[in-house]
Amino acid sequence: MTDTADHRIELYLRGDTYGSYDRQQRILARVEDLEAEGVVTDTEVDASWQRIRTPEQDSRDAALATYDEFGEWAGENGYRLEPAFERRQRSYIGSDAVHDVVVFPMASLAVYEGSDLQAVFPCADGTGEINFTVQDCLDAFESGESDWFEQFAAVTVDRASPRLTVNAD
């Protein structure tokens, strides 16, 4: 990334975590400061991500589509979304039903340039040895180290605007 002012940040905060409100608010304030200082052109925030089950059970299936988009980016870069994101199966007591579940981290952040997904945080390299956090990303933006982002390969996605939608049910 050459000029960070051409980038947007999408910040996703889990709404069902306990004891993390202050940490989430510090992250949110840092993201808002980046936009206010002109470091990035736009920031979008979704503070209502929850534990996601299946699209049939989830009124916000855009969260699953966003997770899949993040997974495509991770695969292209040889990275993993785990352990911060967790995809597993969940069964229910008294039922034979088994559903895929995606558990989202307390905070996740995506950096876009137009329709290119530049980076997703948190993530880990393929070996699990190197983890990149939301804080690492914000530190790079705040210190003006735009070349730090060059270690990530962008993935073109089918959208240039956020998939941030909240169902009013």
| pLDDT tens, residue by residue, 113-128 | 888 999 999 999 888 7
Spatial distance between the Cα atoms of 100 and 68, rounded to a whole number of angstroms: 13
- Backbone φ and ψ of 30, nearest 5°: -65, -40
| pLDDT tens, residue by residue, 60-97 | 557 888 888 999 999 999 999 999 998 888 777 888 87
4-156: what fold? Glutaredoxin (3.40.30)
Q: Kindly tell me the sign of the dihedral angle through the C-alpha atoms of 116, 119, 120, 126.
A: positive
User: How many residues are given for the chain?
Assistant: 169
Give the DSSP H or E segment for 90: strand 86-91
| pLDDT tens, residue by residue, 18-47 | 888 999 999 999 999 999 999 999 999 988
Question: Residue 121's closest CA among 138, 105, 133, 107?
Answer: 133
The whole-number average pLDDT for the span 50-68 is: 72
- For the chain, which residues make up each domain, given as ranges? 4-156
Q: Give the β-pairing of 131-132 and 123-125.
A: antiparallel
The whole-number average pLDDT for the span 53-64 is: 66
